[in-house]
Amino acid sequence: MISFLPLFCHPNPKKVLIVGGGDGGVAREVVKHPLVEEVHQIEIDERVVELSKQHLPSMACGFKNEKLKLTIGDGFEYMKNHKNEFDVIITDSSDPIGPAVSLFNESYYKLMKHALKEDGIVCSQGGSFWLDLSYIKKTMLGCKEHFPKVSYAITSVPSYPCGHIGFVIGSLNKNQKFVNSVNKIDNFDIEALNLKYYTPEVHDAAFALPRWVQQSLMSVLN
């Protein structure tokens, strides 16, 4: 979901950057999109990649695709040196504690904005509203400082605390519509994409929030 929500919202996601995602799972999904031509991934911990290849081969297979170029290093420094290059940036990080906390700050969204092309889209792990809704709102406000369209989407992940996780998604296109995706999956060979979870209906439902969550995020959602 962290891959296909932004990819199907963007009209032509040719060049994609993945920050984090050392298990290879996001790369495995991103390269499936027929419009994606280049995938660049920046992962700070080479050991994560090595262990994923050893113990999580069904996810790490994403590293084998010819579309992907993996760089071991710091995502902040990488984006400082790659401005106006990417159509979509996906941040697959751990929770906003410890070393990953900087990936949830306003300054990180500013950095991503400058690394994007016109009408670029970002999608980041956003945590669960069951665990810390106030932090989600803070993250979204940081995103909104630099992206005119911001939203929050949810999905089910049984292995995550609460069995639930969310994504903060932002677009530089002020007319962006996150629901009713731009590139309908029906326009492509669905079987060839080899998807087990994502559908157009699942895409739209991801943006349907419980009333109390919607009310809390009302000032940020647009």
Pick the more confident residue, 213 or 184. 213
How many separate domains does the chain show?
A: 1
Confidence grade of residue 153 (pLDDT, cut at 50, 70, 90): very high
- What is the spatial order of strands in the sheet that 38-43 belongs to? 68-72, 38-43, 15-20, 86-92, 116-127, 164-171, 149-156
What is the mean pLDDT of the segment spanning 132-150? 93
Q: Give the position of tokens 């069951």.
A: 130
C-alpha atoms less than 13 angstroms from C-alpha of 102 in its C-beta half-sphere: 9
What is the mean pLDDT of the segment spanning 44-60? 94
Confidence grade of residue 15 (pLDDT, cut at 50, 70, 90): very high
Domain extent at residue 21: 3-220
Phi then psi for residue 20, to 5 deg, are: 85, -145
Q: Which of 74, 92, 95, 186 is catalytic?
A: 92
- Other beta carbons within 10 angstroms of residue 102's beta carbon come to 13
- Residue 37, classed as helix, strand or coil, is coil
CATH classification at residue 159: 3.40.50.150
Determine which of 61-65, 138-142, 184-188 has the lowest per-residue pLDDT on average.
Answer: 184-188
Confidence grade of residue 95 (pLDDT, cut at 50, 70, 90): low
Predicted confidence (pLDDT) at residue 178 exceeds the cutoff of 80: yes
Determine which of 21-30, 165-174, 213-222 has the lowest per-residue pLDDT on average.
Answer: 213-222
Phi then psi for residue 65, to 5 deg, are: -70, 140
- Determine the pLDDT at residue 100: 46
Highest mean pLDDT among 37-51, 85-99, 173-187: 37-51
Q: Give the position of tokens 């669960």.
A: 128
Length of the chain: 222
* Mean of pLDDT over the chain: 91
Burial class (CB in 10 A: 0-12, 13-18, 19+), 132: middle
What is the mean pLDDT of the segment spanning 58-66? 94
Left, alpha or beta for 163 (phi > 0: left; psi -120 to 50: alpha)?
Answer: left
Instruction: Establish whether 92 is a catalytic residue.
Output: yes
- Determine the pLDDT at residue 102: 56
Give CA–CA dist 99/111, Å, rounded. 17
The model carries a pTM of 0.94
